[in-house]
Amino acid sequence: MADSVDLTMLRRGINIWNQWREQHPITKPNLAHANLYGANLSKINFDGVNLCEADLRKAKLIEAHLMGAQLTEARLAETNLTDANLTAVDLSAVDLSYACLHHVDLTFADLSQADLSYADLSQADLFGTKLVNANLAGADLTETNLVKARYNRQTIWPDNFDPEAAGAMLVD
């Protein structure tokens, strides 16, 4: 469950939250299971934050920093993550269907079993990302960097998309 102190800090606003994070860089906030449905969290510093099973559907996380955050089983359907930094983030089994991930940095992220159906991943950087058992049906992969992204035979790609031609690597 989310820590009540951490939720209180978040409710005080993004500027207060970001200042608090800057003043307490070692603190690892716990917002697991938090209900942040539809929240405007643009430019927030969620680096290293536990957001496992949090409800972030329809939230705005534009230019947010989530490097190293834990988002396992979080709900992010229809979330706007344009220009967000999701480097090395655990997004395994996350619902990102219809999410806007335009120009997002997902290098070395774990998207195993994630639902990315109909997501906008245009110009996103998925270098070294794990896409094992991920669903990318209908996703927009225009100018997406998939070099060294790992996928398996159960990974679902958009129709007529060739992952190997895009630089992704089949793993067993």
pLDDT (0 to 100) of residue 172:
80
pLDDT (0 to 100) of residue 147:
98
Statement: residue 113 has pLDDT above 80:
yes
Domain boundaries, the chain: 1-172
Statement: residue 5 has pLDDT above 90:
no
What integer best gives the mean pLDDT of the chain?
A: 96
Q: Which fold has domain 1-172?
A: Pectate Lyase C-like (2.160.20)
Instruction: Work out the widest C-alpha separation in the chain, in whole angstroms.
Output: 49
Cβ of 25: how many Cβ atoms within 10 Å?
9
pLDDT (0 to 100) of residue 103:
98
pLDDT (0 to 100) of residue 51:
96
Contacts of 157-161 with C-beta under 8 Å, sequence gap 24+, read: 161/136
With cut-offs at 50, 70 and 90, classify the pLDDT of residue 67: very high
96: Cα separation from own chain's centroid: 8
86 — alpha (psi -120 to 50), left (phi > 0) or beta?
A: alpha
State in Å, rounded, how far the first CA of the chain is from the last one: 35
C-beta separation of 144 from 166 below 8 A? yes
Average pLDDT over residues 98-109: 98
pTM above 0.75, yes or no: yes
Q: At 4, is the secondary structure helix, strand, or coil?
A: helix
Query: Which helix (H) or strand (E) covers residue 21, if one does?
Result: helix 14-23
Q: Comparing C-alpha atoms, which of 2, 51, 46 is closest to residue 20?
A: 46
Average pLDDT over residues 13-19: 97
Average pLDDT over residues 74-82: 98
Q: Please state, for a pLDDT cut of 70, what percent of the chain lies above it.
A: 100
Average pLDDT over residues 65-89: 96
